[in-house]
Structure 1
Amino acid sequence: MRLYLSSFRSGDQPEQMLALLGRPARSGEVAVIANAIDDRPEPERRTAVEREFRALAELGLRPVELDLRMLFGCSPAQATAALAEFSLVWVRGGNVFVLRQALALSGADQALIKLLQEDALVYAGYSAAACVLAPDLHGLEHCDDPSAVQKAYAEQARYDGLALLDYAVVPHVHSPGHPETKVLGEVADRYRADGIPHRTLRDGQAIVINGAS
């Protein structure tokens, strides 16, 4: 399993993400999943996606959007086939509950678990992209509004994560200038007090997982 989980954007050492690829993407393109911001107005969403495109292009990658909404109602096999076209998926931050619901409605949650366990692609991204891999999302409602799921998809938020990690990730901690640093510091404090396994990240940091290392 290969993961690059950044606190904010590509972090201070994006070459660590590129090293996980180890080979060119099969299609020459990498998938950008931006569904964590599906609750935002479309012009704002499009501007945000274009920013991700520019940043990834600067790293020598060829980004294309994979909008999970186009896979809603598909089978896990169909979602697996769509994701398997890429050697890397880049998941943008935003609302973790909106992202979780998009992954579920599209079948991409089970597809990603399968492909990552088979070491068929690299999963990379920041903020909510890292948070959604935890076993459980409780506690993050203090930062991200679960009602955004109703706004985006007319669904209720779910609190189960993908459980690809056995701990929660708390981004933006001790990150002056980030608007969520205070509230996420409080989330980390609650996890610590309750004995919930977690790791904190400052903006610029990333968790890099490559197999057993």
Structure 2
Amino acid sequence: MKLYLASWRTGDSFGELVRMAGPGGRVGVIANALDFIPADEREAYRRKVHDPIAEFRSFGLDAYDLDLCAYFGRPERLLAELERTQLVWATGGNAFLLRRAMRRSGFDALAPGLIWAGRLAYGGWSAGACVAGPDLRGLELMDDPHVLAEGYDPQPVWEGLGLVEAAIVPHYRSDHPEAAAAEATAEWMRVRNLPHRTLRDGDVLIQNGEDLELHAGRI
């Protein structure tokens, strides 16, 4: 299994992520965690601040926008797309909105089997990393589970993809607006004895085979 779970964007081990995709690999960028933000604001951010598709393409990868909304109620079409893709990369945003998109599109039923079989690599940062865990309990201290966008079901999905055994808490003790919320989330999980992994910005949890290893970010 190939996993790359980062706290902030691609973290400080981007070369490992590129290797997971393979030379010229096809990368589906899932940005549905941001669907609650108006389209013009998202486009301005993409042009002026950060464009993950352009970042992947600059390393010779065939990156494209994998909008899960286009597959709501069409899981067979999504499966065909995933089978042509080497890596999916889920961006930050609202973890609960992303999880809703994964449920409505069938991603949560289709992708884990491909990932466990080594036919598809999974990567993501912040929200994209959080949904890889067993569930989203406690993460409501960081993300509002009731945030919605057009076409989304109102009921939150609390189950994660189950790709890792511990919950992921990003932005922990980092220079990030959500650092205080991350501290509260980690404490909430600690007092309830819930398995969790805290990540500082720059940190990445990487699995390329059997073991999940922490690659600490540069300080």
Q: Percent identity?
A: 40
Q: Please, what is the CA RMSD of the aligned residues?
A: 1.7
Corresponding residue of 2:207: 209
Q: How many positions carry a matched residue from both structures? A: 208
What's the CA shift for 1:80? 1.5
What's the CA shift for 1:131? 0.5
Moved over 4 A (4+): none
What's the CA shift for 1:13? 1.5
What's the CA shift for 1:152? 6.2
Equivalence map 1:1-213=2 (5 Å): 1-25=1-25, 29-48=26-45, 51-75=51-75, 77-149=76-148, 153-176=152-175, 178-213=176-211
Quick one: distance in 1 between partners of 2:184 and 2:44?
Answer: 30
Whether the 8 Å CA contact 1:149–1:156 is kept in 2: the answer is: no
Quick one: distance in 2 between partners of 1:71 and 1:47?
Answer: 25
Q: Where do 5+ consecutive residues of structure 2 fail to align?
A: 212-219
Quick one: distance in 1 between partners of 2:82 and 2:157?
Answer: 23
What's the CA shift for 1:48? 4.5
Give 1 or 2: higher helix fraction: 1
- Provide the secondary structure at the position in 2 that maps to 1:153: coil
- Provide the secondary structure at the position in 1 that maps to 2:77: helix
Q: Where do 5+ consecutive residues of structure 1 fail to align?
A: none
What's the CA shift for 1:149? 2.9
| TM-score of the two chains, using structure 2 as the length reference | 0.89
Q: Relative to structure 1, is the Cα distance of residues 120 and 48 closer, same or farther in structure 2, using a 3 angstrom cutoff?
A: farther
Quick one: distance in 2 between partners of 1:129 and 1:42?
Answer: 20
Whether the 8 Å CA contact 1:150–1:157 is kept in 2: the answer is: no
The residue identity in structure 1 corresponding to 2:195 is P
